[in-house]
């Protein structure tokens, strides 16, 4: 049995449980919002919003009057509780979160 591949595999396996801790620490400074229809699941930038927020009838029509920047291509602003969330229409990914005024 070769010792080097065995040690490499053990080292790799030992570091895997630590990865979620590093990822959650890096995301703790980001804005998040709790969508009322998602059973209090917090949404952060990069998460997938519920499908109902991809539809045009959920979009904020007058984003400029609400002090929001222009939506990116294939996206729109929606209101979730006391936040505005920029959702990509094609896949539902949250692109930005801003508090409502």
Q: Would residue 90 count as lying in a domain?
A: yes
Q: Would residue 16 count as lying in a domain?
A: no
Domain count, the chain: 1
pLDDT at 29 over 50: no
Q: Residue 88's domain is classified under what CATH number?
A: 3.10.450.160
Q: Would residue 84 count as lying in a domain?
A: yes
Number of Cα atoms under 13 Å in the Cβ half of residue 15: 6
* Residue 14 pLDDT level (bands cut at 50, 70, 90): low
Indicate the pTM of the whole model.
0.62
Q: Would residue 77 count as lying in a domain?
A: yes
Residue 63, domain extent? 47-99
Q: Would residue 75 count as lying in a domain?
A: yes
- Between CA 98 and CA 51 the distance in angstroms is 20
Q: Would residue 12 count as lying in a domain?
A: no
Residue of 94 and 17 predicted with greater confidence: 94
For the stretch 51-83, pLDDT in tens is: 888 888 888 889 999 999 999 899 999 998 889
């Amino acid at each position: 049995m070769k010792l080097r591949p065995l040690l490499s595999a053990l080292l790799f396996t030992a570091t895997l449980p630590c990865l979620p801790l590093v990822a959650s620490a890096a995301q703790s400074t980001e804005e998040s919002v709790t969508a009322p229809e998602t059973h209090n699941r917090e949404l952060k930038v990069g998460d997938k919003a519920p499908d109902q927020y991809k539809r045009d009838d959920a979009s904020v029509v007058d984003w400029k009057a609400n002090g929001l920047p222009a939506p990116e291509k294939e996206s729109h602003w929606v209101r979730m509780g006391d936040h505005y969330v920029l959702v990509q229409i094609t896949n539902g990914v949250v692109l930005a979160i801003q508090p409502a005024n």
